[in-house]
């Protein structure tokens, strides 16, 4: 009997770009909600802008290369009752507009901050543009919801959920296309981690672009008789602490998987939950280990920085070995 949930696909050959899914979702939602407006900063048409402009030319603002100004303009539009979705490279949202994002969170304004090309796996831009510190920086801002989709289906559901949520939301998108994990019947809820696969030996918490790598790892480990419970942590903040504690109780070992810095990211968030609840279990973090990136192919970057399925498998086996010793 399969341990994979009924909303998980059996065939993962359908690779889609999350930006395409985002564009389809925001254009469809704008049909029914006239308060939606888009802002972007000199950004590629396939990520934001030109597709939306064809349908709603008077509901989009190009502010040029001025990320801080974009967020400030979004604040004013939100205060006037509109629902602005802002778009820029993630590195510039954090690097050039952090204070403005912080102020939006302080004022609890209804702004949706779409951060594009996040994480290590932006292949051709290298260290200057690969954003590994966003989760650490943004998790520290109160009132801010941070969402990180695993595939195109979840991206569409996240956009709808962000629209329905009253308050500031960050949507963390990434560059490489990924296989479609979910079926259309998948029910998405902000703040509730999704169980992709049941298991009792080890719990793996993965987010964003690396959820699929974690899924591949569980399939390989299943053939070796290792029973992994896999969570898709699509909501980084607020973190689903109850799922973390429940997984620890039932599995007794934990691995986290992310495409950014393990310091302050998902791994750090899970470690905080374990420490505050006096839980001592075997625990490993798969992610960028406090180093800057470099240019390279996506698969090469995964291998070089230890982000591929084989490193997840290795981490699972390490914590399982420690678990058996205790």
How many CA atoms within 13 Å lie on the side-chain side of 15?
Answer: 5
Helices and strands (H and E) in the chain: how many: 12, 14
- 250 catalytic? Reply is no
Name the β-bridge partners of 113. 86, 170
Instruction: State the Cα–Cα distance between residues 176 and 173, nearest whole angstrom.
Output: 10
Instruction: State the Cα–Cα distance between residues 152 and 265, nearest whole angstrom.
Output: 22
Name the β-bridge partners of 194. 232
Q: In this structure, how many other beta carbons lie within 10 angstroms of the beta carbon of residue 27?
A: 16
Peptide bond between residue 238 and the one before it cis (omega within 30 degrees of 0): yes
Name the β-bridge partners of 39. 61, 86
Residue where the block lists tokens 């495409």 = 259
Instruction: State the Cα–Cα distance between residues 259 and 306, nearest whole angstrom.
Output: 10
Q: Under a CB-based contact definition with an 8 Å cutoff, are residues 144 and 98 in contact? A: no
Name the β-bridge partners of 86. 39, 113
3-state helix, strand, coil in the chain (%, to 5): 40, 20, 40
Out of 28, 67, 224, 241, the active site residue is 67
**Residue 173 token pair:** 């998108």
Q: What is the chain's Cα-based Rg?
A: 19
**Residues taking part in catalysis:** 67
């Amino acid at each position: 009997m399969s341990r994979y949930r009924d909303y998980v696909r059996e065939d993962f050959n359908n690779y889609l770009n999350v930006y395409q899914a985002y564009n389809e979702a925001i254009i469809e939602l704008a049909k029914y909600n006239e308060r939606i407006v888009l802002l972007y900063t000199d950004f590629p048409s396939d990520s934001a802008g030109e597709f939306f402009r064809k349908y709603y030319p008077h509901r989009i603002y190009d502010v040029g290369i001025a990320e801080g100004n974009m967020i400030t303009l979004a604040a004013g539009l939100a205060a006037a009752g509109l629902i602005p979705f802002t778009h820029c490279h993630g590195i510039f949202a954090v690097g050039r507009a952090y204070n403005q994002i912080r102020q939006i969170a302080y004022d609890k304004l209804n702004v949706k901050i779409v951060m594009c090309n996040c994480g290590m796996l932006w292949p051709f831009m290298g260290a200057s543009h690969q954003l590994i510190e966003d989760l650490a920086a943004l998790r520290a801002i109160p009132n801010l919801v941070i969402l990180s989709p695993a595939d195109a289906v979840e991206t569409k559901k996240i956009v709808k959920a962000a629209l329905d949520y009253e308050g500031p939301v960050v949507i963390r998108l990434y560059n490489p296309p990924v296989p479609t994990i979910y079926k259309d019947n998948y029910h998405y809820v902000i703040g509730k981690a999704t169980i992709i696969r049941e298991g009792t030996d080890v719990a793996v918490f993965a987010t964003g672009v690396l959820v699929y790598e974690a899924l591949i790892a569980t399939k390989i480990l299943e053939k070796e008789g290792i029973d992994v419970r896999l969570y898709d942590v699509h909501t980084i903040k607020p973190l689903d602490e109850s799922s973390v504690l429940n997984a620890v109780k039932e599995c007794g070992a934990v691995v986290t998987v992310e495409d950014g810095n393990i310091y302050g990211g998902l791994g750090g968030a899970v470690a905080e939950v374990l420490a505050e609840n006096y839980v001592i279990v075997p625990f490993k973090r798969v992610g960028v280990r406090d180093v800057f990136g470099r240019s390279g192919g996506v698969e090469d970057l995964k291998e070089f920085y230890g982000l591929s399925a084989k490193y997840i498998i290795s981490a699972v086996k390490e914590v399982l070995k420690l678990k058996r010793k205790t």
